[in-house]
Structure 1
Amino acid sequence: MASHLAQEVQLAKRHEEIVSQRLVLLQQMENHLRDKEAEKTWQTQEADTAHKRNTVLLNDIETARKKLHSREHLLLHPDTVNLETLYWAKIDESIPKWEAFFLGRTQTPIGIKTIKPAKQGRSSIKGSIPR
């Protein structure tokens, strides 16, 4: 009978340990869930802010474009007009690629090349200075 009592006491202690470990794990899970919810809220706010900023940027670009197009009535050199026409054709061609990106629907458009600035050395300056 004493051995059954000792086993009962031992099982009761083990039960207490398991219950306390369970409580600790439950608390950790609640904290983790709360942290994840806070992070999700923060990410949502950041995404909304970025979306609003990108929408404003698109509107600003469109406004600047309209302003520049409205200046066409000024008499410009034909080469300048030709360059401007080519420039706006390139802009019109690439706007659809970037619009979805700025609105947060896609990632950076594929095929956009970055332009590396040319190194300025003595030889490149030498050729451009008239003597």
Structure 2
Amino acid sequence: MASFLAQEVQLAKRHEEILSQRSVLLQQMENHLGDREAAKTWQMQEANAAHKRNLVLTNDIETAEKKLHAREHLLPHPDTVNLETLYWAQIEESIPKWEPFFLGRTQAPVGFGKIKQKQNIKPPKGSIPR
């Protein structure tokens, strides 16, 4: 019977060790679950903050795009600028030919006749005759 009593004591000690290990493991599981919940909450907050930043950036990009489109309509087309440049270059080349005419020294250069003025200009309807 003494051996049964010794076995009973050993089993009781082993049972206490198992219960204490179980308690420690349960506490660790609760801590781990709490950490996971905190991490999940933090991730959600970070995701929300990132979403808000992305919305602000998207709005900024759309605003900049609208400004660029508006500005694009204000600036002349590159072909137009090129034509204007060529036009003014041609004008500058022809100034020496026209300079005497502008100063009243000669007639218009060859190829340009005098502009005939009409002598009988009628006033527009409804105006008072002079």
Question: Which residue is equivalent to 1:4?
Answer: 4
Question: Which residue is equivalent to 2:49?
Answer: 49
Gap runs ≥5 in structure 1:
82-131
Question: What's the CA shift for 1:75?
Answer: 3.4
* Matches of 1:18 and 1:44, distance apart in 2: 38
Gap runs ≥5 in structure 2:
82-130
Question: Which residue is equivalent to 1:22?
Answer: 22
CA distance 1:66–1:10, change in 2 (3 Å)? same
Q: Return the TM-score normalized by structure 1.
A: 0.57
Larger Rg: 2
Question: Bigger relative contact order, structure 1 or 2, given CA contacts below 8 A and separation 6+?
Answer: 1
Aligned residues: CA RMSD: 2.0
Higher helix share: 1
* Matches of 1:28 and 1:35, distance apart in 2: 10
Question: What's the CA shift for 1:56?
Answer: 0.8
* Deviations 1:101-131 (CA, angstroms, capped at 9, x unpaired): xxxxxxxxxxxxxxxxxxxxxxxxxxxxxxx
Question: What's the CA shift for 1:72?
Answer: 2.9
Question: Which residue is equivalent to 2:33?
Answer: 33
Question: 3-state SS of the aligned residue for 1:76?
Answer: coil
Q: What are the residue-to-residue correspondences of 1:57-68 with 2, within 5 Å?
A: 57-68=57-68
Question: What's the CA shift for 1:77?
Answer: 5.1
1:48 counterpart letter in structure 2: N
How many correspondences in the alignment? Answer: 81
Question: What's the CA shift for 1:69?
Answer: 1.2
- Runs of 4+ aligned residues of structure 1 deviating over 6 Å after TM superposition are none
